Amino acid sequence: WIDKKEIAKRQQQAKDRKNRTRKGVRRQFERETPRIRAAVFVDYGMTNINRNDNSGSGSPSTPTAFDGGMGHDKPVLFDNRNLLATSAAFDGQSRPRCVTPFMVGVKGSIFWDVTKPKRKYYPPTPVLPPAPQLISGKIIDLETKQEIKEAQLVITDTLNNTLFAKNLRGSGRFDTKLRRQGTYRVFVAAPKYQKHKEIVSNVGDTLMVYMQPIKTGTSFVVKNIYFNTNDTSLTAESNKELDKQAKFLKENPNVNITIVGHTDSRGSDEYNLKLSEGRAVSVMRALIDRGIAPERLKAEGRGETQPVASNETEEGRAENRRIEIEVR
């Protein structure tokens, strides 16, 4: 059983649907049909003057004011002032003899405005990227070609969004899903190995990462370490390099180093030995201030005893004044 209110409600709903359908059809017609607007204006006002030949007389008509006394009536156009200006233009009637009362004029103008319908916009069909596929990887020692058993691995996209991260324990193998046509950044850190950074593209089924081991006895010159002339104090320009070395030691907690100072040959041997040792101690203290444990560090001065260039030129002497780090 349905009461009257329910019936009225359903009828109103049907009516609303019908109205929406009509509006939709009308809107579609308006979108797809050119719109034309036209207007026409017509006015009448043409002048027609008949010739006056004095019918039935068979002789030329008497000269009048209309032909300048030449005996022939010529069409003359009058405006309202000329029609009432002189009695010579009248023959006693209420109008000129040679002008008919019939005047017809036509003028008109037509203009239009055409609006083209808006074309429907169909968005392009998006091309979906290929689905990620399973890729296997290995972390390998560059020299021994053996798997590194312990490492930290992070893979990101070019915007540094992390796609995969894992701490490897007991095996240097890993599995992840990546799109093979993509470009990725690979970061690997492992004890007693230099930190590895690599950009890879179009990876295959296997991603191989090779790590450079940090060997005991390996030494390297630390660039961008500056001291004041004939002094052991560091300049402010050295802070960036000191931060870099402190970060390296924090990322490799099993690495211990010896900081070695060197000088050129100017000055006495004793003075140069003392100066080189003082500069090495300054670098060690700077690393301790940056959070490195003192037991991991050792400072040593060797003066002018181990030159790497000639002391006869300024360029050579500048190369001999240096700080080296030895891994132990």
Task: Decide the pairing of beta strands 183-189 and 150-156.
Answer: antiparallel
Domain boundaries, the chain: 133-211, 219-327
| The pLDDT value given to residue 204 | 79
Four-residue CA torsion sign, 137, 143, 147, 149:
negative
Select from 228, 207, 218, 201 the least CA-distant residue to 137: 207
Residue 293: the pLDDT is: 96
The pLDDT score that the predictor gives to residue 130 is: 72
CATH architecture of the domain formed by 133-211? Sandwich (2.60)
Architecture of domain 219-327 in this structure: 2-Layer Sandwich (3.30)
Per-residue confidence in pLDDT tens, the chain, 328 aa? 456 677 777 778 777 777 666 655 555 444 444 444 444 444 444 444 444 444 444 444 444 444 444 444 444 444 444 444 444 444 444 444 444 444 444 455 555 555 666 677 777 777 777 777 888 899 999 999 999 999 999 999 888 899 999 999 988 999 988 877 788 999 998 888 888 889 988 777 888 999 988 888 888 899 899 998 889 999 999 999 999 899 989 988 888 999 999 999 999 999 999 999 999 999 999 999 999 999 999 999 999 999 999 999 999 998 999 999 999 8
Instruction: Work out the widest C-alpha separation in the chain, in whole angstroms.
Output: 156
Q: Within 10 Å of residue 87's Cβ, how many Cβ atoms?
A: 9
Residues 6 or more apart whose Cβ sits within 8 Å of residue 216: 327, 328
Q: What is the pTM of this model?
A: 0.46
